[in-house]
Structure 1
């Protein structure tokens, strides 16, 4: 039989787009660190989301233990009303203090900061912060068809647009054009439109071709370099929108597989941010986002 922790147990959960991580601490002691796929996460159904999270808590914690507080950062938990609905359902099931936020809101506390902006550029892109009264503000995150500039899917969309424009001008295919034609397994540039439109999961299928854009830039494609620079400016623009609404943007914590794995995009963002929001300090997230969930759980005990 497992010993139950003597200190109050705080639990943080980071529900990402593909994987979910739960971390439970009793004082400084790590009681549980559990990772599982995010399949089954239904953030637009508060009761279903709460049941799914409760099952993870019960599976991950030692027998006979229960959390003293729980905080969750949820992928696609996009509005305060939506997050509040999940939190209320969770409190009903677990009977403990609960806080639910969008997963991007975990970045600032994960970096050990009390205020600032969390910026994610992975498959999609979004920036979040809090107004002086504590109410959350999210900008961006509108999906690959309409937005997500600077995210992987948005970069591929804009790369295709750049290639089509060059084709219409009569330019010969460059490294970006040939790379996209190969990646989408079509015969020529005009066929790219149908290939993009036929994707069953637009964000995922467009996004996984993003390395082509960076490879083309490395090979000397001016079109690709411009797409990346524009993506960096768009990400800086998200922070500028938050600043214009009066949010604290001195510290910008950056996460997401695309921007953290592609120095060209990070450098373009940092340069554009220095111009758009002088004084803002970008920093790469160096700790797992679940650490931010644990910090939030500690704050509501």
Structure 2
């Protein structure tokens, strides 16, 4: 970190994720600031309020009197180009510098040091993003825990609950998956899981925190949990296949997100499913922080 103001152009990259926000400011090869905080109150569909938050973050984190030369933001839940464009305009008005705003999954490919490829995120939610040869961005998935996000933590919990309910309806005794969910949600019996899930005020976050139960149950021999993980892996591969079907080059698939990268059972199953669906696609676990992709996009604005 630099203690004195930078002498060259300073670029700022911001990764606004579902759970945390990271800002990195760089001049040349020197990191001027690297700041992480929890994401709260983030509403990209309200561009003025979202831009106010981002501008305040930039001014708070940078050294006194230091202004950026360019800013790029990867914004969670910024789901369409017009939505991202409205936020870009609002943020540029507040900062007075070139700004680029993309969905947070679009940070993965540049963060990996690539010019093209697919970004696949499976954290609390899931989404895949790629670019057509003409530069058009295409997104598949990312529809939230209630309707989609298969392969993300919240989606895994939803499907695990469905599997446990189906087993209950067949008259089967609770297995390791059912017992794990009952303990995690603090309810006494399988039918009570429905009310527990429906009581969530933040569905993605509150469901997603129970995802470790699925992997623990699979390790303990639960066939239901193993099937849920296998289905999730195939669903993630299907996101990439959906991009390929729309003409997106999928040679390199940059994979990020704590659920898929933190759980070898899911990542290995995804890799196998991807090889079956698209033999030419290469999965690449992201080793750099996604904010590096935002920094790279900010540099491209200079």
Q: TM-score, structure 1 length as denominator? A: 0.97
1:135 aligns to what? 136
1:82 aligns to what? 83
Residue-by-residue CA offset, 1:102-145 (whole Å, 9 max, x unaligned): 11111110000111111111111111111112121111111111
- CA separation of 1:3/1:209 partners in 2, compared to 1, >3 Å: closer, same or farther? closer
Whole-angstrom distance in 1 between the partners of 2:164 and 2:147: 19
Task: Name structure 1 gaps, 5 residues minimum.
Answer: none
8 Å CA contact retained: 1:111, 1:286: yes
Q: Which 4+ residue blocks in structure 1 deviate beyond 6 angstroms?
A: none
**Shift of residue 19 of structure 1?**
1.7
Indicate yes or no: 2:243 matched with 1:264.
no
Whole-angstrom distance in 1 between the partners of 2:206 and 2:96: 41
8 Å CA contact retained: 1:40, 1:52: no
Whole-angstrom distance in 1 between the partners of 2:41 and 2:232: 32
Q: How does 1:62-77 map to 2 (within 5 A)?
A: 62-77=63-78
Indicate yes or no: 2:213 matched with 1:205.
no
How many residues are treated as equivalent by the alignment?
A: 300
2:104 aligns to what? 103
Residue-by-residue CA offset, 1:266-294 (whole Å, 9 max, x unaligned): 01110000011111010111011110000
8 Å CA contact retained: 1:99, 1:297: yes
CA RMSD of the aligned region, Å?
Answer: 1.1
**Shift of residue 3 of structure 1?**
3.7
Q: TM-score, structure 2 length as denominator? A: 0.96
Whole-angstrom distance in 2 between the partners of 1:13 and 1:78: 17
1:230 aligns to what? 231
**Shift of residue 18 of structure 1?**
2.1
**Shift of residue 197 of structure 1?**
1.5
2:114 aligns to what? 113
**Shift of residue 30 of structure 1?**
1.2
Indicate yes or no: 2:242 matched with 1:241.
yes
2:164 aligns to what? 163
Whole-angstrom distance in 2 between the partners of 1:20 and 1:199: 23
8 Å CA contact retained: 1:25, 1:32: yes
